[in-house]
């Protein structure tokens, strides 16, 4: 069985609380917005490589909320130092889910450097995350999610997957002032 990104994201949706902040980039973002539109979805415009850093800032500023980062392996590869920064920041409310499909998908599916060798889960473990998992099967991922999201962070899950159903790449929305205003209003609603 192969795990498709949209199936993994659909499996995550029932575990997202109303006050959770979800930070997503590029294809994970487009898929997530189509599958689970909500005001506390933070879209990081032009921030390839920055989802984890933005997630860390939001986790530090909102210690009473869970921050779920939906990262891409191409994005994380551009900012590997964030793994060490997150692990050493003392955040207990950050949950880092990595879509590892070994390509820069939104940029033409060009292969990642070292795509057949890079081990993101091992890097997160070595950086000092509280717990690290690698999921290659959907059933394995479904079983892992409740434990991951109920554990003290930072948690890291490498989702070894392939792309799923094609969702529209709505660049107009993620670049809009409306997206940022909706998020800011929802964040400050408390």
In order, the DSSP letters of 95-149 are: EEEEEE-SEEGGGT-EEPTTTTT--HHHHHHHHT-SEEEEE-SHHHHHHHHHHHH
Say how many C-beta atoms besides its own lie within 10 A of residue 152's C-beta. Answer: 10
> Beta strands of 51-167 (E only): which ranges?
67-72, 94-100, 103-104, 110-111, 131-135, 155-160
Summarize pLDDT for 25-68 with one digit per residue, the tens.
877 888 899 999 999 999 866 667 789 999 999 999 999 999 99
DSSP letter at 17 equals: -
Name the pTM for this structure. Answer: 0.92
Summarize pLDDT for 124-157 with one digit per residue, the tens.
999 999 999 999 999 999 999 999 999 999 999 9
Domain 5-187: CATH superfamily, name plus number = Thiamin diphosphate (ThDP)-binding fold, Pyr/PP domains (3.40.50.970)
**50 three-state secondary structure:** coil
Q: Which two tokens stand for residue 41?
A: 């979805």
């Amino acid at each position: 069985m192969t795990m498709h990104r949209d199936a993994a994201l659909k499996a995550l949706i029932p575990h997202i609380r109303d006050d959770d902040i979800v930070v997503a980039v590029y294809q994970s973002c487009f898929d997530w917005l189509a599958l689970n539109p909500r005001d506390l979805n933070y879209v990081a415009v032009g921030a390839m490589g920055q989802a984890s850093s933005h997630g860390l800032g939001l986790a530090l500023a909102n210690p009473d909320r869970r921050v779920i980062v939906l990262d891409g392996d191409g994005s994380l590869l551009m900012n590997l130092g964030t793994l060490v920064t997150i692990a050493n920041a003392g955040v207990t409310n950050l949950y880092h889910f990595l879509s590892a499909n070994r390509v820069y998908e939104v940029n033409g599916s060009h292969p990642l450097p070292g795509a057949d060798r890079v081990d993101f889960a091992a890097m997160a473990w070595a950086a000092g995350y509280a717990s690290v998992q690698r999921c290659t099967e959907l059933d394995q991922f479904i079983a892992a999610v409740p434990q991951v999201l109920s554990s003290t962070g930072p948690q890291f899950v490498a989702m070894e997957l392939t792309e799923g159903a094609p969702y529209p790449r709505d660049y107009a929305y993620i670049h809009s002032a409306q997206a940022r205003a909706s998020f800011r209003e929802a964040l400050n609603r408390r």
